[in-house]
Amino acid sequence: MPRGVQRDPIAAAENPPGCCDVFLDVLRACGLICYVACPPVPSVITRKLAFHPPEKGMTYRIVLKSDPEKRFKNIRACKDEPMQMVVRNINNGADYVHPEQDVEVFSVKTANNNDLVCVKCTPDSYSSNPAVAEQVVLFCQPNSSDLGGFLQPNSMNFVTYANVFETDLYAFDYSGYGFSSGTQGEKNVYADVRAVYEKILEMRPDKKIVVMGYSIGTTAAVDLAATNPDRLAGVVLIAPFTSGLRLFSSKPDKPDTCWADSFKSFDKINNIDTRVLICHGDVDEVIPLSHGLALYEKLKNPVPPLIVHGANHHTILSGKYIHVFTRIANFLRNETLVSCRSAEVDSSQQQQQLSSKRTENE
């Protein structure tokens, strides 16, 4: 049937699928089951279901400043030489290079011996708010994108995020994504975010860190934050889910976790001591809002969540709903541990000033 022509339902009912059609459908289903379930190892099944990286080179490539024509399998081959990221515009295929003052590329080695592509995105100007000035943001991506997808020109990209938040934003490609070495996997994701976090602590000893996760990136953020690492100021979870198997259940808050489950944020999130902001679209067809609300109920130190009316899983961070970004910016200014301490200090100073004035008047 030609593309764009719909089959007549009456004709379809009069001409049910033949034996060959049924056989092909069964064959496809068996092939899918074999692909996912063979070998029957939970970690392998999780990798096949959960991780869908873009084709390498589709959205960006890494080049040496000294030899831009040289090609690499992954960032490990760059050997810490000065490099830059060439972003491929997915709309027209043109190459684009962000100015060096906006995007800096570096690499990080994980405990699992994988080398990750990382970027630091710098705003045009930094916030005058003392709390924001003490913080940087670490972003953990969803499962079907890489750095090039979030650095597309003329769109809501990481540089835009940095400008809205008025502070430096760090991001990275998981193992097996983009030009990071290794393979995709749950354990690698957790090792990845920890390695980047520790690198930021080393590079920015004067800063606290707010970890922001989106979709599967929320599991990396929760796993890290649940250990309450040094200088963690806050956590932002965008479209989070309770666990892998709970995504297939009508009860995301069921108390018992199956031994074969993965991405067990539901079991970890109540260990987070810092402040946590949850943002979720109310028409999210991939991760229902009920997952975000179930996680919210388990938080030790929540702030008011943001339920984005009309937003689905893909549009919540697209720039269509600008109040998502203003809510996160407000969290950085007023609701992280750094913000709260700054407010307490300001309040204490004001009380001391009032007390001094009263004493002088007396």
What's the gap between Cα 231 and its chain centre? Answer: 19
Q: Is 98 a known active-site residue? A: no
Residues 6+ away with beta carbon under 8 Å from 197: 138, 209, 211, 224, 229
- pLDDT per 10-residue tile (average), the chain, 362 residues: 45 56 50 45 59 92 90 86 93 95 96 97 97 97 95 95 98 97 96 98 97 98 98 98 94 92 97 98 97 98 97 96 97 90 50 53 52
Maximum CA extent, the chain: 99
Of the candidates 284, 291, 339, 342, the residue annotated as catalytic is 284
pLDDT at 175: 97
Q: Is 313 a known active-site residue? A: yes
Of the candidates 107, 145, 175, 215, the residue annotated as catalytic is 215
Q: Which two tokens stand for residue 299?
A: 């938080």
| Three-state secondary structure call for residue 331 | helix
The Cα–Cα gap between 170 and 200 comes to 8
pLDDT at 90: 93
User: Would you list the DSSP string of 35-99?
Assistant: HHHSS--HHHHHHHHH--PPPTTSSEEEEESS-TT---SSGGGGTT--EEEEEE-TTT--EE---
pLDDT at 19: 60
Is the distance from CB of 167 to CB of 123 less than 8 angstroms?
Answer: yes
Of the candidates 98, 280, 291, 313, the residue annotated as catalytic is 313
Is the distance from CB of 315 to CB of 265 less than 8 angstroms?
Answer: no
Q: Is 284 a known active-site residue? A: yes
pLDDT at 44: 61
pLDDT at 35: 41
Give backbone dihedrals phi and psi of 106, rounded to 5 degrees, phi first.
-150, 175
Residues 6+ away with beta carbon under 8 Å from 300: 270, 271, 272, 273
Q: For each of the domains in the chain, give its residue range(s) and CATH number, in order of start.
A: 103-342 (3.40.50.1820)
Q: Is pTM, for the whole model, over 0.95? A: no
> Three-state SS across 146-174?
CHHHHHCCCCCCHHHHHHHHCCCEEEECC
